[in-house]
Amino acid sequence: MALEDVPRLGCGRSIDEVWAGIDQPPTGHEEHCQYCQTARTRLQRLQEATVALRESDLHDPELKPRPGLTRAIMDVARAEVRRGNRLLVRTTDHGTIEISEQALDSLIRIAATAIPGIHSRRCRIDIRTLPNSPHETTSTARAPRLVINFRVAAAAGIDIPKTVDALRQKIRTAIPAGIGIDAGTINITVEDLYDV
Amino acid sequence: MSDPYLPGSLINSQLIASLAARTALETPGVLRLEPTLEGFLARLGPAALRSLRHPGSQDGSYRHDGVTATINDGTARVDLDIATDIAYTALTVAEAVQQRIHENISHTGLTPGRIHIHILSIEPRPE
């Protein structure tokens, strides 16, 4: 048998029900029920104390975070996001080198900011490892190949094919310069137009 | 004349982690090691840190901001999370870090094991 341990008033209502409406005017039942009126009176004092304590905490300099604490928390949070999805881009004699999808993503977005009339939207990156060529003997033999699926919004009135070509060329230059691997396949989708 | 080796008994995973972190930060193109929750809590104080199991050495490893070092049978393995400067080629930076850490571990008398580098961010150097 399930036991209900919710405190109830003499009229059968739970104290939680009264508390839920404490910042509202009394209901019809509460206007005539002495149990509810007593409970409301006591709970109103509790509510006043709670509000006072909350306001006091908000303005208490002792409870303010130390300078830099919020930033440190955000730095950790961002780093945890970056740790999420990582792509193996090189295996050397000493170990592996991975790059986070976030790092690649931000490099692509930085490149896109150089192209007028383009707003970045979603970017998805896959990586495929090409099979070894018989002539390749170095640690870089298994060259990764990126497949970038980049969705953007374009300014209304621009020459879209020309602008997208410029964007693709910019990304094709930025990735080898910033990371050291070929950009691979760059699929760009203009999914929306925006007014300038 | 070769460099004198430090006695192996003095070298622990914390020292290897510290060596790897310092080596990485001295490599051109490395902006920083990426912070971890454990490292953040360690800075807040021991009470906060006790709520987590790490950074212990229960499995012979030591974890701190952006670096994990493990020593097993005289071989030191390192995992490093870094952010690199967009003005440098990230893979070139990462390979230089690997090479330098490999050399510095070998100077401790331990055998350098796998050194895994994770590039978590590529961004402009702050003004």
Chain segment B73-82, per-residue pLDDT in tens: 889 999 999 9
pLDDT in tens, A168-191: 999 999 999 999 999 899 999 999
**Is residue A69 in some structural domain?**
no
- Distance to chain A for B5, nearest Cα, Å: 21
| Biggest CA-to-CA distance, chain B | 48
Q: Which residue has the tokens 């050291």?
A: A180
Return the minimum-mean-pLDDT range out of A1-5, A35-39, A110-114, A150-154.
A1-5
The pTM score is 0.68
Average pLDDT over residues A122-128: 86
The stretch B4-9 carries a mean pLDDT of: 53
pLDDT tens figures, A86-96: 888 899 999 99
Q: Which chain B residue lies closest to A84 (C-alpha atoms)?
A: B120
Percent of chain A scoring above 90 in pLDDT: 42
Task: Answer yes or no: is A176 within a domain.
Answer: yes
Q: Is residue B3 part of a domain?
A: no
Per residue in A136-157, pLDDT tens? 444 444 567 899 999 999 999 9
Does any domain span residue B46?
yes
Sequence letter at residue B42: A
Would A184 be classed as within a structural domain? yes
Please report how many Cα atoms fall inside a 13 Å half-sphere around the Cα of residue B109, on the Cβ side: 10
Task: Please check whether residue A10 lies inside any domain of the structure.
Answer: no
Handedness of CA A7, A13, A19, A20 (dihedral sign): positive
| CA distances for A89 relative to A86, A107, A136, B118, angstroms | 9, 15, 16, 10
* Nearest CB neighbour to A94, from listed B35, B81, B99: B99
| Chain A residues near residue B39 by CB distance under 8 angstroms | 76
Residue A107: list chain B partners with CB under 8 A: 86, 122
CA distance B58 to chain A (A): 23
CATH number, domain with residue A97: 3.30.70.1350
B98 compared with A102, residue with greater pLDDT: B98
Number of domains in chain A: 2
What mean pLDDT do residues A130-134 have? 56
Q: Are A58 and A125 found together in one domain?
A: no
**Domain span holding position A161:** 88-194
- B45 pLDDT more than 70: no
Contact B119/A at CB under 8 A = yes
How far away is chain B from the Cα of A164, in angstroms, using its nearest Cα? 23
Chain-wide mean pLDDT for chain A? Answer: 85
Same structural domain, A54 and A118: no
Residue A172, exposed/middle/buried by CB under 10 A (0-12, 13-18, 19+)?
A: middle
**What is this model's ipTM?**
0.81
Residue B12 domain boundaries: 8-123
What is the domain-level CATH number for residue B76?
A: 3.30.70.1350
- Regarding whether A27 and A117 lie in a shared domain, the answer is no
